[in-house]
């Protein structure tokens, strides 16, 4: 089988699995459910994934890539300030979150799998790896702002990167629970306030 066709079929299976796991959860989903949603035979699924656990594990990385697809974090060139560039990145990321919000329950399933059950250690390590990667991207931008003398050099970059990542995660959860929540405004204002706080242009009250 040509490699392109294998990739296409695997992606179709992952898309189907994302829908089924979102609707039924990990425990309630069977390989037969995924096969039926994808319009393929059960044996075809096993041709790509040896078990439901392997399918779910691969789905985690696929979903993480899908959310970030098309979002640019190339902030190391151009005339814009690092802050303005990062705010654009934030807006792009929120747009991607909104496009996939109906699959947000997958995130809850991943967290649940990392907290208990047979997948605990494997999913915990995978999620830690993903968050390390995301925090690393954000940390790189903040370091770039420090190098350009836009951000204060005493900034605790690692702690701040984790805080920004955590804030965006929490805003996504709030939007999923309440679609009337203005996640775009909340994300922009939150990140803007954080970056303003570490900017040389910010003014702090004299504490005497």
Q: For residue 120, is it within any domain?
A: yes
CATH number at residue 175: 1.10.357.10
Instruction: Give the range of the structural domain holding residue 4, as residue numbers without chain letter.
Output: 1-53
| 39 and 87 share one domain | no
Q: For residue 122, is it within any domain?
A: yes
| 138 and 82 share one domain | yes
Q: Half-sphere exposure of 67 toward its Cβ, with a 13 Å CA cutoff?
A: 23
Please give the Cα distance from 52 to 48 (Å, whole number): 11
Return the percentage of the chain with pLDDT > 70, whole number: 91
* Number of structural domains the chain divides into: 2
Instruction: List, for residues 47-92, the tens digit of each pLDDT value.
Output: 999 999 999 999 988 888 887 776 666 655 667 888 998 998 888 8
Q: Decide if 34 contacts 16 (C-beta within 8 A).
A: yes
Judge whether residue 208 has pLDDT over 50: no
| 175 and 75 share one domain | yes
Q: For residue 179, is it within any domain?
A: yes
| 74 and 162 share one domain | yes
CATH number at residue 26: 1.10.10.60
Q: For residue 60, is it within any domain?
A: no
Highest mean pLDDT (candidates 123-127, 151-155, 203-207): 151-155
Q: What is the DSSP string of 38-99?
A: HTS-HHHHHHH-SSHHHHHHHHHHHHHHHHHTT-----SSSSS-HHHHHHHHHHHHHHHHHH
Which class for 46: exposed (0-12), middle (13-18), buried (19 or more C-beta within 10 A)? middle
Q: What is the pTM of this model?
A: 0.79
Q: For residue 204, is it within any domain?
A: no
| 9 and 79 share one domain | no
């Amino acid at each position: 089988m040509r490699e392109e066709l294998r990739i296409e079929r695997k992606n179709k299976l992952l898309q189907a699995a994302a829908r089924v796991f979102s609707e039924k959860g990990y425990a309630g989903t069977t390989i037969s459910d995924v096969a039926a949603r994808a319009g393929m035979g059960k044996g075809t699924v096993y041709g790509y994934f040896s078990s439901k656990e392997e399918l779910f594990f691969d789905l985690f990385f696929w979903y993480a890539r899908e959310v970030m697809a098309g979002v640019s974090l190339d902030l190391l060139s151009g005339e814009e300030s690092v802050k303005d560039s990062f705010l654009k990145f934030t807006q792009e990321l929120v747009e991607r979150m909104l496009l996939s919000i109906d699959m947000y329950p997958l995130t809850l399933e991943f967290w649940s799998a990392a907290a208990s059950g047979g997948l605990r250690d494997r999913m915990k390590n995978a999620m830690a790896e993903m968050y390390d990667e995301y925090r690393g991207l954000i940390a790189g931008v903040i370091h770039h702002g420090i190098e350009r003398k836009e951000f204060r050099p005493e900034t605790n970059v690692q702690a701040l990167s984790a805080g920004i990542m955590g804030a965006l995660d929490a805003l996504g959860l709030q939007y999923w629970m309440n679609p009337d929540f203005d996640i775009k405004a909340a994300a922009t204002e939150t990140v803007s306030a954080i970056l303003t706080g570490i900017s040389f242009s910010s003014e702090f009250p004299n504490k005497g």
